[in-house]
Amino acid sequence: MNYNHLTIEERACIIKFKEMNLSIREMSKLINRSPYTISREIKRKNY
């Protein structure tokens, strides 16, 4: 399997989107990542 890590820019976007109270699905569409990836990142970093 091939995995791609989130970039620093993507992580910064997630922080901003979280502050804007966007849903995980909205965030995933905006940065073109899976909602599951966004969810794991939020849980991992405890944003």
Please tell me the distance from the alpha carbon of residue 41 to that of residue 47, in angstroms, as a whole number. 9
6 backbone dihedrals φ, ψ, rounded to 5° = -70, 145
Q: Give me the residue spans of the domains in the chain.
A: 8-45
Q: What is the chain's pLDDT, residue by residue, as a tens digit (47 residues)?
A: 666 899 999 999 999 999 999 999 999 999 999 999 999 999 998 87
Candidates 1, 44, 45, 42; CA nearest to 22 is 42
Q: Which of 43, 34, 42 is nearest to 18 (CA)?
A: 42
Cα angle vertex 45, ends 41, 32, to 5°? 25
Q: What is the pTM of this model?
A: 0.86
pLDDT in tens, 15-25: 999 999 999 99
